[in-house]
Amino acid sequence: MTITITAFDRSPDGGKGLARDTRVRWALEEVGQPYEVRLVTFPALKEQAHLALHPFGQIPTFEEADLALFETGSIVFHIAERYFGLLPADANARARAITWMFAALNTVEPPILELMTAKIIEGDKPWTKDRIPLVADRIRDRLKQLAARLTDAEWLDGAFSAGDLMMVSVLLRLRPSGILNECPSLAAYVARGEARPAYQRAFAAQLAVNTR
């Protein structure tokens, strides 16, 4: 059955891995599942055909046979559950890997998104200059806690899992801010994720779309 995902017709970052189809592409590459991509323009995101798939008018979505999903957490979890390679077989290890997926999305990503919002969407507001350092410090707190748990391990809990895929995906959005490099062990963790052949294939495919 063909898997089809949606991605930006033109990503604002020029296809450098920051848009969220990257994590879905990466998951599919890790489990060795081929997929097709339907490119969507910004206006088309808010049209009925796309809203029927994604109630918030965003990318990415995932379709396979009669299943349609939105939200990268749900999509990556579904891929990890259905195909071999992203979740350990042991039930407890599996539960911990899933916990790291939630931690990435619910605990680490929110302040990172706040920083993006402060810089990009609210960049011209009078409070932005004062707000950015506060948000940046909240991110630094999370990074310190995460680095304390990771120590010098390669991955968060044993072998690479969907938890690492999600955590690396969330953290790499920090690189342009310089905050990631303040924490060398996490910068190295992200670099290990990006060095995986599956990530490289996902990145190259997204870049190709945006440089066509």
Nearer to ligand GTB, 12 or 184 (CB): 12
Residues 103-132 within binding reach of ligand GTB (CB under 6 A):
none
Shortest CB 113 distance to ligand GTB, Å: 8
57 contributes a contact to ligand GTB by CB under 6 A: yes
Q: Across-strand partners of 69?
A: 62
- 37, 53, 59, 76: which one contacts ligand GTB (CB under 6 A)? 59
Tokens 């796309």, located at residue: 50
HSE-CB at 11 with a 13 A cutoff on CA atoms is 23
Nearer to ligand GTB, 12 or 123 (CB): 12
Give the interface segment with ligand GTB, choosing from 7-15, 128-136, 147-155, 198-206 (CB under 6 A).
7-15
Shortest CB 207 distance to ligand GTB, Å: 12
d(CA 152, CA 141): 18
Q: What is the DSSP string of 128-145?
A: HHHHHHHHHHHHHHHHHH
Nearer to ligand GTB, 58 or 161 (CB): 58
Nearer to ligand GTB, 7 or 91 (CB): 7
Residues 125-164 within binding reach of ligand GTB (CB under 6 A):
none
Residues 9-48 within binding reach of ligand GTB (CB under 6 A):
11-13, 18-20, 45
Mark 139-174 as b/e (b = at least 16 C-beta within 10 Å). Answer: beebbeebbeebeeeebbbeebbbbbbbbbbbbbbb
Q: Across-strand partners of 36?
A: 4
Smallest CA-to-CA distance from 6 within 72, 92, 96 is with: 72
Nearer to ligand GTB, 57 or 88 (CB): 57
Give the interface segment with ligand GTB, choosing from 27-35, 51-59, 90-98, 143-151 (CB under 6 A).
51-59
What residues contact 194, with CB distance under 8 A and at least 6 apart? 17, 168, 172, 200, 203
Residues of this chain that bind ligand GTB (CB under 6 A): 11-13, 18-20, 45, 57-59, 71-72
